[in-house]
Structure 1
Amino acid sequence: MDVADIRKNVKILEGGIPYTVDDLEFTKPGKGRAIYRVKLRNLIDGSVIDKTYHSGEKVDEAQTTYRQEQYLYKDGDHYVFMNTETFEQLFVTEAQIGNKKDFLKEGTLVDMLMFEDSPIDITLPNFIDFEILESEVAIKAQTISPQLKSATIETGAVIAVPTFINVGDIIKVDTRTGTYVERINKK
């Protein structure tokens, strides 16, 4: 792939390691070849590097695939997923999942990014329903802005919810931002 074909979110190989392009800056100096300054995020460990390419250079595209997997359970520091087609089980480390573990509920279907038959990342559904397990007692105050309180969902994550949410309520959470969307039903 020519360096001019690189776009944001394209997956490339750098030194045999898969990276995704987080940011791209193109500069054309008065003399010489164009310069591409690229911010690359390592798909295996999440580290970020800055790399500079010149026009005409070639880069290797990372051959990645997505597979649908179902989250089964947590086993020590590993998360166990099952391929929905072959029923093969796959163990993924907490480091590979990162903060997404806060919204990983048993039975959830995820898209798993694979590189050379190894899992490197998961994509959660945009919205997941959770039950409220614990909630602060809300103090009613007369304000113009909406009042929020902390609540613990069934995965153990703590999110901000409106004061009318109670223990046992089912709420919808945006997994991309970790924010409350709406109440599904009351207890």
Structure 2
Amino acid sequence: MTDFNPNAHLDFDVDTLSGMVPIRQVVFSIGSNLGDRLAYLQGAVDLLRNTPTLSIADISPVYETAPVGPVEEQPDFLNIIVRADSTLASLVLLERAQAIEKNFLRTREVPGGARTLDVDLITVGDRIKETPELTLPHPRAHQRAFVLVPWLDIDPDAALPALGRVAELLRDVDTSGVRRRDDLVIDL
């Protein structure tokens, strides 16, 4: 008879179990520039929080940002970054992001135009993926101050897979249109 070892479970590799899926850090960028912008951001966070097998780890401060893209004449955005942990597949996370946008009546008639809500999937762990449905990391995240600035606030060691550390990427991005709004708060 062998002695019971109370630490035996520490030698157990859960990733080798059948059906187990690794937990990955997920980063979402959420923005709104129509209607009650703060309420739309809060609503998106609430729906992410209610997503099975997704656990919100952190939310950045709220930033007000100038619009970026082809449609220049539109209101400023409120933006946040949400970090979460999840076992969901990247395409399921994308579907969830799009369902949340649809819930807040997001339309896509004018690419880059004003919107009630924009929920972008920025990273899923260190996945690099390029399909017609999804590119990871988000293909323009490294060029967008409204993604990099709030992300750096909550994760000074953040990095975009294959592109580099957020702090270094931010050196090449114009941050003049990004203003932190400490008077606006998203509840976790």
TM-score by length of 1: 0.20
TM-score by length of 2: 0.20
- Pick 1 or 2: higher relative contact order, CA cutoff 8 A, min separation 6: 2
Larger radius of gyration: 1
Greater share of helix:
2
